[in-house]
Amino acid sequence: MTDEEMTQLAINTIRTLSIDAVQQAKSGHPGTPMALAPLIYTIWNRVMRFDPEDPIWPNRDRFVLSNGHASMLLWSILHLTRTKAVNANYERLGQASVSLEDIRHFRQLDSKAPGHPEYHWVSGVETTTGPLGQGVATSVGMAIAQKWLAHRYNRPRFDIFDYNIYAVCGDGCLMEGISSEAASLAGHLGLDNLCWVYDNNHITIEGKTRITFTEDVEARFLAYGWNVLRVGNANDLERIEQALEIFRKTKERPTFIVLDSHIGYGSPHKQDTAAAHGEPLGDDEVRLCKRAYGWPEDKTFLVPDGVYEHFAAGIGSRGTEARRKWTELFAAYRTEYPDAAAEIELMQRRELPSGWDRNLPVFAADPKGIAGRDASGKALNVLAQNIPWFLGGSADLGPSNKTILNYEGAGDFQPDNPGGKNFHFGIREHAMGAIVNGLSLSKLRPYGATFFIFSDYARPAIRLSALMELPTIFIFTHDAMGDGEDGPTHQPIEHLASMRAIPGLVTLRPGDANEVIEAYRYIMQLRHQPAVLVLSRQPLPTLDRKKYAPASGVARGAYVLADAPGGDPEVVLIASGSEVILAVEAHERLLADGIRSRVVSMPSWDLFEHQTQEYQDSVLPPSLVARVAVEQASTFGWERYIGKRGRMIGMKTFGASAPLKELQRKFGFLPDSIVTAAKEQVAQAR
Ligand SMILES: Cc1ncc(C[n+]2csc(CCOP(=O)(O)OP(=O)(O)O)c2C)c(N)n1
Ligand SMILES: [Mg+2]
């Protein structure tokens, strides 16, 4: 067999595995894998530096399949390259990342060939994709991370980080707004380590793109400042390889390759139709396709002799050699630069350097107090100095979010300063979320910030953060009606409920400056969970922790802040954030009136629910039915803590435009209303 025949055989193996898997599952997307098999083959077997023996080797090239519905491309290539599995502790397991059995069970429970690429579930998947546009946007974060890592850690003769990022996307990814945000920023930053390949097949689910998508995509990317190339035939390996070569030689601009392809390539009745996108071809058509490829029509899940070996001789030997060289290089680097090497190793395991929390401030009691966002800004500036790879920024609200690192040498991340730790995401919240994910997937410790109201614009990426179990941090200030005059467009209502509803996401709304610090102390130690910090714009009094319980209770999600004498309350007041101080004031008045009240500060539902039942019952005794909760947010969900008979002082409508004091009066966020509600509760319970 000639080399060319062997190559064709390997490509057709990707195609037929994809076809057979979709047919067997009776669901999935065969057409795009059939069209893009030559592209995936070329990137993986001829270009990428990726060692199938170690899919998490730090200097590997990254591959992102942003059109995640074409997941069979990834399962086929991970299988054929015999990529090995690693576990959550980054240990290599020796077994296949994706076995032929997994592919036979494509889209079935527990298979390592699920419907869409899932990071953390399948080794070799660099990021979870499926919501179109997320993958390409995340790839921008990966490219930024490479630049940052190279700047900080490379030394003369030691290119420790010199990897590239390849992302493949379709029409859907490019229609979604997030890709425009991300491409705009990537162009500005001149990320020449980033290459997107656009599968230009003129087809989406509803038919030809002439009904929806007729813009000049090339002109758009040229305008973003990208290097734009075109390959007119998706089956032309040489031209694909050449374009990828031009990408690697291009400096100071990301590369965008338009690849003209035919969805369902080889299918006599379905090629170039939307029918090839998302349904099995059907048995008859499968046979016709196989005939067109010169494939045995009766064989399914066939990997012909020599195909594994062909990949082993390509990506296998190139990747193993690249990793071997790098490992040697890194050993020498460790001798010459032990501190830098130690940082890289800590970072890879998502650990923190010793002394990471030194100098975190403690705030003295102060009735005037300090805003949550200001306390956060102080914490960030301490943590970023203790943890070199802790960095981030805001979607153009840095001065308001107080997320700017202003110590000497922190710097701004810009094309001419890739070591800067302040990121300017621009007014691009959605891309910011995905980019923060990309930074975290690259093992940096990132944060992104905006007003809480605009978390809506980033939510799909936050959700993916939780799904991928990434320790990202989202800092959301202006958490309620604190910016009163801005009015209802700027006042979050349902956002806390919405964040609390995301599985695995730690949402924290601290009640004073010391709770903010404790919140950071807790979330910095998370290795596999994202966190959302919800912070006030306005000053909140700093509680006297000699009189009230220590703020370290934050780590348990909710804690008894102030109690009835003897610890025997007849009513409990539960509050978060800016309402904690209102509850404390009400509590003092209730005590003066002879009513035994307790105040529970509840910064985080999620954390509280992970405590033992015994602890939960000690904070909120089941027998204590007189309960008042107060939170400047939707009442949605609070029944779980106040029960059927409890009272919730919260929001059932949108807010209004007025000074905060007036809004507090209008909506009942006053110690008075809490006292009244508490007395009613006590009377009802008696
Ligand atoms: C955000 C988002 N919206 C909708 C979908 C549902 N969906 C999956 S694939 C697809 C069409 C994608 O078209 P294209 O990217 O051109 O893929 P092709 O069919 O060419 O492979 C849609 C609408 C999705 N996965 N993500
Ligand atoms: Mg398409």
Indicate which ligand has the atom closest to the C-alpha of 132: 1
Nearest CA to ligand 1 atom 23: 205
Ligand 1 atom nearest to CA at 176: 1
Tell me if 204 CB under 6 Å of ligand 1.
yes
Tell me if 172 CB under 6 Å of ligand 1.
yes
How much distance in Å is there from the Cα of 554 to the middle of ligand 1? 42
Nearest CA to ligand 1 atom 13: 204
Indicate which ligand has the atom closest to the C-alpha of 174: 1
- Collapse the DSSP code of 33 into the 3-class scheme (helix H, G, I; strand E, B; otherwise coil) and give the result: helix
Ligand 1 atom nearest to CA at 32: 21
pLDDT, tens digit, 9 for 90 and up, residues 103-146: 999 999 999 999 999 999 999 999 999 999 999 999 999 999 99
Find out whether 396 and 125 touch, Cβ atoms under 8 Å: no
Q: Indicate the top mutation candidate among 65, 176, 178, 205 to test ligand 1's pocket, ranked by most ligand atoms within 8 A of CB.
A: 205
Q: Give the span between the Cα atoms of 262 and 236, in whole angstroms.
A: 13
Lookup: tokens for 548: 């009230």
How much distance in Å is there from the Cα of 467 to the middle of ligand 1? 20
Indicate which ligand has the atom closest to the C-alpha of 206: 1
Tell me if 263 CB under 6 Å of ligand 1.
yes
Ligand 1 atom nearest to CA at 170: 15
Tell me if 203 CB under 6 Å of ligand 1.
yes
Q: Give the span between the Cα atoms of 3 and 92, in whole angstroms.
A: 32
Nearest CA to ligand 1 atom 16: 171
Tell me if 463 CB under 6 Å of ligand 1.
no
Residue 354: what pLDDT?
Answer: 97
How much distance in Å is there from the Cα of 173 to the middle of ligand 2? 9
Tell me if 66 CB under 6 Å of ligand 1.
no
Q: Indicate the top mutation candidate among 204, 209, 265, 267 to test ligand 1's pocket, ranked by most ligand atoms within 8 A of CB.
A: 204
How much distance in Å is there from the Cα of 72 to the middle of ligand 2? 16
Q: Give the span between the Cα atoms of 356 and 390, in whole angstroms.
A: 10
Distances (CA, A) of 504 to 5, 34, 116, 512, 607: 49, 36, 20, 24, 10
- Report the phi/psi class of residue 396: left, alpha or beta, with left for phi > 0 and alpha for psi in -120 to 50: left
Indicate which ligand has the atom closest to the C-alpha of 135: 1
How much distance in Å is there from the Cα of 132 to the middle of ligand 1? 6
How much distance in Å is there from the Cα of 71 to the middle of ligand 2? 15
Q: Indicate the top mutation candidate among 67, 69, 171, 174 to test ligand 1's pocket, ranked by most ligand atoms within 8 A of CB.
A: 69
Ligand 1 atom nearest to CA at 169: 15
Catalytic residue among 126, 176, 181, 429: 429
Tell me if 217 CB under 6 Å of ligand 1.
no
How much distance in Å is there from the Cα of 204 to the middle of ligand 2? 5
DSSP 407: S
Indicate which ligand has the atom closest to the C-alpha of 276: 1
Tell me if 201 CB under 6 Å of ligand 1.
yes
Residues of the chain with pLDDT below 50 are none
Q: Indicate the top mutation candidate among 74, 132, 138, 200 to test ligand 1's pocket, ranked by most ligand atoms within 8 A of CB.
A: 132
Tell me if 205 CB under 6 Å of ligand 1.
yes
Ligand 1 atom nearest to CA at 277: 19
Find out whether 438 and 456 touch, Cβ atoms under 8 Å: no
Q: What count of other Cβ atoms lies within 10 Å of the Cβ of residue 46?
A: 16
Ligand 1 atom nearest to CA at 460: 1
Indicate which ligand has the atom closest to the C-alpha of 277: 1
Q: Give the span between the Cα atoms of 452 and 461, in whole angstroms.
A: 15
How much distance in Å is there from the Cα of 197 to the middle of ligand 2? 12
How much distance in Å is there from the Cα of 467 to the middle of ligand 2? 26
Place of tokens 């425009």: 180
The question of whether 429 is a catalytic residue gets the answer: yes
Distance of CA 370 to the CA centre of its chain: 30
Tell me if 65 CB under 6 Å of ligand 1.
no
Query: For residue 114, what are the contacts with CB-CB under 8 A and spacing of at least 6?
Result: 71, 107, 121, 122
CB-based burial, 575-610: b 16+ in 10 Å, e otherwise: bbbbbbbbbbbbbeebeeeebbbbbbbbbbbbbbee
- Report the phi/psi class of residue 627: left, alpha or beta, with left for phi > 0 and alpha for psi in -120 to 50: beta
Task: Give pTM, 2 decimals.
Answer: 0.98
CB-based burial, 534-573: b 16+ in 10 Å, e otherwise: bbbbbbbbbbebeebbebebbbbbbbbbbbbeeeebbbbb
Ligand 1 atom nearest to CA at 209: 16
Rg (the chain; Cα; Å)? 28
DSSP 312: I
How much distance in Å is there from the Cα of 261 to the middle of ligand 2? 9
Ligand 1 atom nearest to CA at 67: 15
Tell me if 132 CB under 6 Å of ligand 1.
yes
